[in-house]
Chain A
Amino acid sequence: MHRYIINRILLMIPTLLGVAIISFVLLRMVPGDIVLLKLAGDGGRVDEVVLQQERAKLGLDKPIPQQFLSWIAGAVRLDFGLSMWTGRPIVDEIALRLELSLQLTIMASVIATLLALPLGALAALKQDTWIDYAIRIFTIAGLAMPGFWIGIITILILLSVFHYLPPLTFTSLFKDPVQNLAILIWPALTVGYRYSAVATRMTRSTLLEVMRDDYVRTARAKGLAERFVVMRHAMRNALLPVITVIGLEFAFLLGGLLVTEQVFNLNGIGKLLVDAVVRRDYTMTQALIMLTATTFVVMNFLIDLLYVFLDPRISYSS
């Protein structure tokens, strides 16, 4: 098991290196010029000489391989340099937004899990009843409605019916929990609902499959109460794919909540990433891609480890 863990950790290095190379090259291939955008984006008239000076200041006049080498040399020391747009350290810029994004991701995941597991199980156990249909409609609606639309409708209802708009400046959970929740509960519900839709359907279908397995029939045959059959035997096995979905969705949410962040005006990682891409802030974009890729790789690894604890039949020792 230890060997497996070490191997998996070592395998992360080439994976992340591959991501770094591909994203670095792709970013440079996309047309655009951060200097032009900074100095002339609002109708400014600036000399070409000045533009060249600014490009040189940012190191954009150097050959791409040289730019990559100096970036990677910093990255291995966890020094991602300065944002080309703001000139501030990238680590500071990300740290500033990480708390919000992490909290929102956790809240959305908790809401999604709390909705998905009971609803999915209920739908499976009450298959083809009105309960099943209601849950299926609820989940299909969650999948069908775009996140931004749900967000806009939420805000419009809050504004029109309750004459209320959530606060627009983020307050840390540790500073003022009430204010913090007043800001994040709405986007968390919006994202959590959509996220739960995927997990509910997954729970329902895997549980339906598991409930037809021989060992469930055996459990019933030996006289075990239905709730024990479901909770101890069926649910535990049905959870494996559900956990995979929830884990990967968690990694996605950390940097992928752009639209929700925009609608609710949240200062999160998703907004930072899109701003960086739009501005051609190469250093910031690269750092955020690496953060997202690392989160995915680590989550995948943790999910694999979790399998062992959920299903004793799985072992990585051999």
Chain B
Amino acid sequence: MSQSTTTSTVSRVRRRTFLRAAALSSAALGLLACTPQSPTQPAAKTETKPAEATKPTEAAKPAAPAATTAPAAAAKPGEAAKPAEPAKPAAAKPSEEPRRGGELVFAVSAEPDTFDGHKSTTFANIHPCAPHYNYLVKFDPGGYPKIIGDLAESWTTSPDGLTMTFKVRSGVKFHDGSPFSSKDVKATYDRIINPPQGVVSARKQGFAAFSAVEAPDPTTVVFKLKYPSPGALQMLATPFSYIYSAAILEKDQTFPEKNIMGTGPFKFVEYVPGSHWVGKRNEEYWDKGKPYLDGFRALFIRDTAAQVAAVRGERAHVEFRGFTPQARDELKQALGDKITVKESSWFGLIFATFNTQKAPFDDVRVRRALTLAIDRWEGGKVLSAISLPKYPGTLVRPDGPFAMSEAEMVKLAGFGKDGAAAKEQAKALLKEAGVPDGFSFVYKNRDVPSPYEPIGVFLIDQWRKIGLNVTQQSLETTSYFNDIRAGNFEVMVDFTADFMDEPDLELSKFLSTDRSSTNYARFTDRTLDEIYDKQTREQDPEKRKQLIWQFEKRVLDEQAYVALTPWWQRIIPHSSKMQGWNILPSHYLNQQLDNVWLSE
């Protein structure tokens, strides 16, 4: 049948004319649609002044977090009992009274696989679960790294540093109405320090200095230590150490894995997997008048662009982990005064780990050449504009109480201010190691867009400048863990995500392989082990600091087991309606929400 049999009353147009018109219309529509700034577009500067960008010629200093950075208030032997102050709403204006009511809505980029904080290692547990619990002691939401009492009213440490005695609050109730006592604290820390059969304690290693917990009367808890540990109080304040009910644990030690029962400011309402988590105000909360919010709702939103859209669309007040600089700028541009930006340094660090069991990375000269090639000051400046890395630093947080002074740091390989000279030194070392023309290797990275991918590009660029031919291989998370644990790599990305300035935690990764399961560089270094053991027992803060620096010098310079990239910045743009929340350098801390309130 011919085409003419199809009846047509419409006049025909020439194909070319029509296509031209259609193309023009589509282009116009496309332009119109793309006018709003997309999350990946670099945004114009906003009214809110972000933390000062690193200047090329001066040391990049971490933006001062809203909290103080005084050395941790660790309890010293023989110290008098300290009255514990309940935390005050840190960011509230003095003239403004916190307003009661409202539901805080926040986005969380991952979901908890378990409700049990003692087992968990992820913020995905803390963000929805922490508002239901109290701690014995905690980091001050308004003055990190000071430690304040939560359920503890006061505490003392014996002169020999081997006994810590806490007085706990009375009149506190669990959400089921049962009374809280020192027995609950004992049951909680027994479970963390010596987990019973079938229970996983993710921080058992960190509590190595503790030998026993006793509850001699309902308001007294005594911790016995094997040796004096300067980090003992900090360990007790870990943000995963939720206080559980002894009566419940006695019946079922696995109860906290799938159930919530705490003394915290919010009671559990519902959890819909994949969707949201809801809590409501605990009307019988021991800290009278708190919490201010009627409740909270955590929305599980994995996709970063969708998280930004949720804040921009005012469906969520905040995301507590942190956004990129572009997302911050986009939100400020779109919402203006409706958005408040808080920034600080962050416990986030990415580094390249060399497999010391594979040639040529078994040669310290090669490893030092690779770390010398990296211009960390320039890197901080460039990367901080597009991603999280910003502050050059060593193994402990650059603005933390144990940080190496800049004068000392610039002496380390690859930390000097003259990047070109360091690269020349690197080339000379390669020549000395017998590879003057460089060599090829694969850098294994994670397939996480920010900050892993920009850091990977930066490192490869730096290494190419000393004649190395580097190929990047991106791995999804499970394959990444598989390869790094099996030693199936030459150079691979590794990371730390701690929640407090405690060198026992931050340095333990770099102990010999028989003492650290996460020493992925796979070295045995008894000198390092010895320095670590000395610092962990050293009571004098200054002497301890010197030992820590010695440790860092060996890891980063003398042996160059790893090559660090700059420490991260934490950027939290949140609805200006949200008040009373203070940014700390860890997204694990200050998540109980008892101080938070909504202005409207």
Which A residues form the contact surface with B (CB < 8 A)? 31-34, 36-48, 50, 53-54, 57, 85-88, 93, 96-97, 124-131, 133-134, 137, 141, 152-153, 155-161, 163-165, 167-170, 211-213, 216-217, 220, 226, 262-265, 267, 271-272, 275, 278-280
Contact = CB atoms under 8 A, between A and B. Distances in A.
20 contacts: A36-B482, A41-B122, A42-B497, A45-B518, A47-B204, A54-B200, A125-B6, A126-B6, A127-B8, A128-B12, A129-B8, A130-B13, A155-B309, A211-B5, A212-B5, A213-B1, A263-B306, A264-B306, A278-B476, A279-B478
A48 to B, nearest CB: 6
A128 B3 contact: yes
Contact of A47 (B33, B38, B517): B517
A125 B7 CA distance: 7
A226 B38 contact: no
B269 to A, nearest CB: 13
Given A130-B10, A133-B18, 13 more contacts: A31-B482, A41-B477, A43-B121, A45-B202, A88-B258, A128-B12, A141-B26, A153-B33, A157-B33, A158-B313, A264-B306, A267-B272, A272-B274
A96 B275 CA distance: 10
Given A44-B121, A45-B205, A45-B518, A87 B8 contact: no
A48 B8 CA distance: 76
A159 B309 contact: yes
Given A39-B121, A153-B33, A168 B310 contact: yes
A124 B6 contact: yes
A126 B10 contact: yes
Sorted from nearest, which 5 A-B pairs have the closest CB atoms?
A165-B313, A44-B121, A32-B478, A160-B36, A43-B497
Nearest to A47: B517
Interface of B: 1, 3, 5-8, 10-13, 15, 18-19, 22, 26, 33-36, 38, 113-114, 119, 121-124, 198, 200, 202, 204-205, 257-258, 272-276, 297, 299-303, 305-306, 309-310, 312-316, 334, 476-479, 481-483, 485, 495-498, 508-509, 516-518
A42 B202 CA distance: 12
Contact of B274 (A97, A133, A155, A212): A97
Contacts of A133: 13, 15, 18-19, 22
Given A128-B12, A159-B36, A211-B6, A86 B121 contact: no
A38 to B, nearest CB: 5
A39 B518 contact: no
A31 B6 contact: no
A93 B274 CA distance: 9
Contacts of B205: 45, 47
B497 A37 contact: no
A80 to B, nearest CB: 16
B478 A280 contact: yes
Contacts of B310: 165, 168, 265
A169 B276 contact: yes
A40 B121 contact: yes
Interface centre among A44, A97, A153, A161 (most CB of B within 10 A): A44
A217 to B, nearest CB: 6
Contacts of A141: 26
Contact of B478 (A33, A57, A126, A170): A33
B89 to A, nearest CB: 27
Nearest to A214: B1
Contacts of B497: 42-43
B299 A45 contact: no
A59 to B, nearest CB: 15
B121 A46 contact: yes
A46 to B, nearest CB: 6
A155 B38 CA distance: 10
Contacts of A137: 22, 26
B200 A217 contact: no
A56 to B, nearest CB: 11
Contact of A39 (B3, B22, B202, B314): B202
Contacts of B518: 40, 45
B176 to A, nearest CB: 22
A50 B481 contact: no
Contact of A43 (B5, B273, B299, B498): B498
A221 to B, nearest CB: 12
Contacts of B309: 155, 159, 165
Contact of B113 (A85, A134, A164): A85
A301 B113 CA distance: 38
Interface centre among B15, B305, B509 (most CB of A within 10 A): B305
A83 to B, nearest CB: 9
B301 A86 contact: no
A38 B120 CA distance: 8
Given A85-B113, A267-B272, A33 B312 contact: no
A152 B113 contact: no
A167 B498 CA distance: 34
Given A133-B18, A159-B313, A46 B202 contact: yes
A262 B275 contact: no
Given A31-B482, A45-B509, A157 B306 contact: no
Given A42-B121, A278-B477, A129 B10 contact: yes
A156 B301 CA distance: 17
Interface centre among B26, B34, B481, B516 (most CB of A within 10 A): B481
Contacts of A126: 6, 8, 10
B141 to A, nearest CB: 22
B303 A86 contact: no
A81 B272 CA distance: 19
A189 to B, nearest CB: 15
B143 to A, nearest CB: 25
A133 B10 CA distance: 12
Nearest to A88: B273
B36 A157 contact: yes
Contacts of A129: 8, 10-13
A52 to B, nearest CB: 11
A264 B302 CA distance: 11
Contacts of B334: 159-160
Given A127-B6, A160-B35, A50 B200 contact: yes
A94 B125 CA distance: 22
Contacts of B122: 41-42, 44
A41 B481 contact: yes
A53 B478 contact: no
A24 to B, nearest CB: 18
Contacts of A134: 22
A157 B202 CA distance: 45
Contacts of B119: 39
A127 B15 CA distance: 12
A33 B481 contact: yes
A44 B202 contact: yes
A87 B258 contact: yes
Given A40-B481, A44-B121, A93 B273 contact: yes
A152 B305 contact: yes
A45 B508 contact: yes
A96 B26 CA distance: 40
A46 B517 contact: yes
Contacts of B316: 168
A183 B3 CA distance: 45
Nearest to A134: B22
Given A124-B6, A165-B315, A37 B477 contact: yes
A216 B313 CA distance: 55
Contacts of A87: 113-114, 257-258
A258 to B, nearest CB: 11
Contacts of B202: 39, 44-46
